Amino acid sequence: MPLLRQPVRIRWWIFGFLFGFAALSYLQRTSFSVVATQMLPDLHLSHTQFGWLTTTFATAYALSQIPGAAIGQRFGARLTYIAVGLLGLAAMVMTPVAPVIAGGAAVFGLLLLAQLTLGASQGPVFPMFAAVVQSWFPEKRWALANGMQSAGMDLGGLVAAPLIVFLMQGFGWKGALLWLAVPAVVLTAWWGWYGRDTPEEHPSVTPQELAELEGTDRTPAPPLTMRRLLNIATDRDVLLLSVSYLCMNFAFYLLSTWSYLYLVEVRHLDGLESGLAGAVPWLGAAVGAGVGGEISDRLALRLGARWGYRLVPLVTLPLAGVMLIVTTHVSTPYAAVTALTVAFCAVEFNEGAYWAATMRVARADTAAATGVLNTGGNMGGILTGPVVGMLSDAGSWNGAFIAGTALSIVAAALWLLVDPDRRAGAAA
């Protein structure tokens, strides 16, 4: 069996750690929406207040993308992900501790601070991953690697609902969040021991693996100046991708943050049944992210980057919008879960295309450019929190899903203007 004798490339071990950080980041953030079913009545918080908490996370997350990318570009992936793990751990512990050490309005203030810290801690996660892919992977696998990384975050979301529901039954919502400290500590310590910034630095990388990177532009990025950052942030294609990603992420945050509450409050699922049902859409998302990345790479090789990366969003984003509308019209809870799963799969099908196209435009400035991309994308999260919070408090869940449909279609249309073959001026 020759295939079994082939050693696993070190780049895939590095990928495995960063896959773990992506999964952990979404386990952490998604757990907040799951514990909300107990936390909101326990602390006497409204949906609107919950919306502002999620918006605080999304705002901190969005605003930390570019600084996180710049810091990561300066200090490298190894130190950056150690900082990500430690800050995320602190934020998760702060949330259940808040009502123990404070009361009244101060509790809400501490919850805001915890969400602010969590959002800031996760800012570098995905821009730095793109920089690692640019350094460690052949160009023909960029969309697959980014899609699989998104599958990692989706698997974190998948695990969150049933795991947190199970833990809440035994330890309450506070204890459930405290248990999440265990994987954070293990992953951060292990990465600190094994991780390296580039293949050349890792003692186990072979000459054969380095040879496989020939032909891929791996030019190290020079120190990021304000002028180069402005050139990247105002580049036509980076801006188009970022605005499109913003629109797509309204649907993403609607599905990732609010669908569990929708299933509990509108479709009347509860207990472990609600946890398992809430996990199913995340499974669809994980499958969509991985398969979508592979298909995007294959289409880009066959048709060229421009149409190869375009075709997936032109088909799947309108499909996602249609399935959001279907969710509100089906009669049974499990039909709604099915529609949400298809919608989430269709949304996440596009992650590889967005990130690979931005990397192709930016090259050496991949970290900064994908920081701009994810800043735009998470503006969608900032928009989603108060909009969906107010609409759901008013009993208009249908309005929230219609908004997600409209923005999904806009996101697809913007891809017709994107040209991934054109290099950003700052990276030329």
Distance CA 20, CA 16 (A): 6
User: Taking the CA of residue 357 as centre, how many other CA atoms within 13 Å lie in the half-sphere pointing to its CB?
Assistant: 34
* Mean predicted confidence (pLDDT) in 94-123: 90
**Hunting for tokens 């040209």 — which residue is that?**
419
Indicate if the pLDDT at residue 426 is higher than 90: no
> In CATH terms, is domain 8-427 a member of 1.20.1250.20?
yes
The percent of residues in the chain predicted with pLDDT above 90, rounded, is 49
**Cβ neighbours of residue 258 under 8 Å, at least 6 residues apart?**
33, 384, 388, 392, 400
pLDDT category of residue 319 using cuts at 50, 70 and 90: very high
pLDDT, mean over the chain: 88
3 versus 218: the higher-pLDDT residue is: 218
Indicate if the pLDDT at residue 418 is higher than 90: yes
**Predicted pLDDT of residue 4:** 43
Terminal Cα distance for the chain, rounded? 45
Which pTM was predicted?
Answer: 0.78
Counting every residue written for the chain, the total comes to: 428
pLDDT category of residue 70 using cuts at 50, 70 and 90: confident
**Predicted pLDDT of residue 417:** 96
Structure-token pair, residue 344: 């989430």
